[in-house]
Chain A
Amino acid sequence: NAGVTQTPKFQVLKTGQSMTLQCAQDMNHEYMSWYRQDPGMGLRLIHYSVGAGITDQGEVPNGYNVSRSTTEDFPLRLLSAAPSQTSVYFCASSSLRGTAKNIQYFGAGTRLSVL
C-alpha cells in the first residue's frame, strides 16, 4: 500500500530558483491538498483540489502554484523560491465519497530549505 507518496524527501534551493514538489496517491481520492508546517504554527493550507481540473487557494497560497491534471497527481510549484518558504511540506488526500469521516491521509513530507 503506497498511499500518498511525496518526492523529494529533502531539497535545498537557492533564492530565486524554481522547483516542483511531487505528490501522488493511489487510493483514487478526489480531494488532495498541500500544507506547510513551520515551528510552533501547526499545519497551514496552501492549495487544495476536489478533483481533476479543479484547484483552489488555501490560507497561505502566495508564491505557490498547483494544477491537477489527473486524479492521482497534485504537484506543488515554487515559482521563485524565497527563504520564507523554508518549511516542511505535506501533501494529503481523502475520499469525498462514502462515510462522513473523509479522513485525510498524509504523505511523509518534504523538508525544503531555501538559502
Chain B
Amino acid sequence: AQKITQTQPGMFVQEKEAVTLDCTYDTSDPSYGLFWYKQPSSGEMIFLIYQGSYDQQNATEGRYSLNFQKARKSANLVISASQLGDSAMYFCAMREGRPGYALNFGKGTSLLVTP
C-alpha cells in the first residue's frame, strides 16, 4: 500500500501568489517524521521542511510552512509569495519510527510558477 500519496501531478501558480501542495500519509506508528524536498531541473534533492508527529505546532521555514493535520493524516506544503525559482518537483516523504529508518517518498508534484 502506498504510504505517501501526492494527488497533484502538476500545479500552476502565478508569481507572488501562495500555493498548497497536498500530501497524505499512512502509518500506524505513533512516532514518525514528515519531510518535504525540492528537486529543481538540475536534479539535486533539497531539504525544505520537517514536521515530527509529536510536534504541537506547524513547522515553518521562511516562505515554506507545513499544514499538519494529524487526524486527517495530511501534511500539506504551503509556499507563500511564489517565485520563479520555486518551479520544480516537490516530494513529500515520511520516516516511520526512530531515526535510522528509511524515507518513503511520494511520486511528487511538479510546480510551475508563471510570471
Contacts and interface: CB of A to CB of B under 8 A. Distances in A.
A90 B91 CA distance: 14
B47 A103 contact: yes
Majority SS of interface residues in chain B?
strand
23 contacts: A30-B100, A33-B102, A42-B91, A42-B105, A42-B107, A43-B45, A43-B91, A43-B93, A43-B105, A44-B105, A45-B102, A48-B102, A100-B99, A101-B33, A101-B50, A102-B95, A102-B100, A103-B35, A103-B50, A108-B43, A108-B44, A109-B43, A109-B44
Interface residues of A, number: 29
Given A108-B43, A109-B43, A96 B100 contact: yes
Nearest to B103: A104
Interface string B87-107: 000010101000110110111
Interface string A66-109: 00000000000000000000001010101110001111111011
Which of B4, B35, B102, B106 is the most central at the interface, judged by chain A CB atoms within 10 Å of its CB? Answer: B102
Interface of A: 30-31, 33, 35, 40-45, 48, 50, 58, 88, 90, 92, 94-96, 100-106, 108-109, 111
Task: Give the interface size class of chain B.
Answer: 20 to 34
A50 B101 CA distance: 9
